[in-house]
Every structure is written in structure tokens, then in C-alpha cells.
Amino acid sequence: MTEVSIISKTSVIYANALYDAAQEQNITDKIGKQLTDVCEIYESSSELRGVICSPVVAVTKKFEIVDDIFKNICDKTLLNFIKLLIEKDRFSEINAITKAYYDLCNKKLNIKKVDVVSSCELDSNKKDTIKNLLNKKLNADVNIEWHTDKSIIAGLVFKYDDKVVDTSLRTKLNNISKNLLR
């Protein structure tokens, strides 16, 4: 199952500001890809995390380090955004900001992320059928992440937005058991 992450209101505000700046320049996709690269570099380097999060290292020194690392892979808009996060001591929220940025991009493009859980691997025809039905039902272009969980026995579980639609046999059996015990 995909992990549920909680995004702070602050992260959403920063993501909105970055999205607006990127949209003005028509580089929303480019910034999104670069944000992902920045997150990967940040997560893979404990030294970088230590320096960026250190209250002892001067902000100007952090700017120099960021310039050295990211100037060749980031658009100037994103580089300035990174410096703003450092200045405001918010760079540790880069992963949440990136997620909020992608959520905003998907919302603007009417793309919904849906997790679909089945008891066994589905063939491509069934996946296509489910995708088409979800596109119509949700009135959006769905981006599906497929999962298997044998414990649901049969049926499907759909998770999107803040909703869970559970048509699994396991849930139906549990409901019957609860009703019988009343």
C-alpha cells in the first residue's frame, strides 16, 4: 500500500507559490522534474541534510553550497525558491512541498491518483476496463497504482482523494459477521 503522508498547510502554501511562478513561465513540468531531482539528492546525502539543517552554518554559506550542487540541474526560479526555503528554515519540508506541488499539478490537469487493490494480479484487459470505468466515474484522467493483497479474498478496494470504496469479499464477510452478532 502507498504510504499516507500528511502535508502541512505551510508546505501547500510554498508549493502554490512555486506553481504560480512556474506557470507564469510555462515551466510547471520542468520544475516538477527538477524538484524530484532535488529531493533525491537531498535524501541521498546525509552531509547535505546536516549542513542545510544546521543552525550553526551561515545562510550565505548554505546558499553557496546549494549553488554549487544545484545550479546545473535547476532552473533559476527553482534555485531561488530553494534559497527562500533555506532562508525561512523550511528546506526540511522539501519532500512535502514536492508532493503538494505534484498534487496541485494533477488537480489543475484533472488527474486523480487512485490506488486499486485486488486479491491477485489483474491482466491488462481487466486493468484497462477498470481504468476506463474510473475515468468515467470520477470524471478525470486516473493515474492508477495497482496493488495485490490476498487477504481481501476477492473484489477490489479503491482509494482516492480521502475516500475508500471497499468491494472486497473480506469486508462483506466482516459486515455479515457484525450484523449476526447484534
CB 169 within 8 A of CB 155: yes
Q: Are residues 18 and 94 in the same domain?
A: yes
Q: Are residues 131 and 162 in the same domain?
A: yes
Task: Tell me the pLDDT tens digit for each residue of 53-74.
Answer: 999 999 999 999 999 999 999 9
Q: Which neighbouring-strand residues pair with 114? A: 144, 160
Q: Are residues 119 and 157 in the same domain?
A: yes
| Separation CA 15–CA 157 (nearest Å) | 30
Domain boundary among 71, 106, 141: 106
| Separation CA 178–CA 175 (nearest Å) | 5
In this prediction, residue 166 has a pLDDT band, given cuts at 50, 70 and 90, of: very high
pTM assigned to the model: 0.73
Q: Which range marks the domain in which residue 16 is found?
A: 9-106
Task: Tell me the pLDDT tens digit for each residue of 35-56.
Answer: 999 999 999 999 999 999 999 9
> Tell me, what CATH number does 30's domain have?
1.10.520.20
